[in-house]
Amino acid sequence: MIHKFIDLGTETRNIECVQDRDKIYFVETTSGDLTKDLFGCNERIQSVTFKPIDEFGIDDIQMVVDDHDDAIFFDRVIEALDFWGIDYKVEKKPMP
């Protein structure tokens, strides 16, 4: 399991990633001024679910999180999945 909480002052980001059997779930929850300005909501939850392959799995997600420190964004994971040609499902939920 991967968990990282980032507090940027007026914006927070919570990142969680877990592998359950043959699926990986990556969830990013953001809240604060940026979320409100960009998306018109107080909190936004984005998740991606995918089946890992030998070339890309939870260890690689950990590397993405570690390498980008406070600048880790949901889109970086999506870019990696696209690069490896991995099918995935994205859900985005704005919370009032």
Give pLDDT tens digits for 50-86. 999 998 999 988 888 777 766 667 888 899 899 999 9
Domain range for 68 is 2-95
Average pLDDT, the chain: 89
User: What's CA 76's distance to the chain center, in Å?
Assistant: 8
* Mean pLDDT in residue range 26-38: 93
What local confidence, expressed as pLDDT, does residue 95 receive?
A: 83
Strand-pair partners of 15:
4, 28
What local confidence, expressed as pLDDT, does residue 29 receive?
A: 94
What's the structural domain count of the chain? 1
Q: Residue 30's closest CA among 73, 86, 63, 62?
A: 73
For residue 61, what is the enclosing H or E element?
helix 58-68
What local confidence, expressed as pLDDT, does residue 18 receive?
A: 93
* Mean pLDDT in residue range 18-30: 93
Q: Residue 14's closest CA among 57, 43, 37?
A: 43
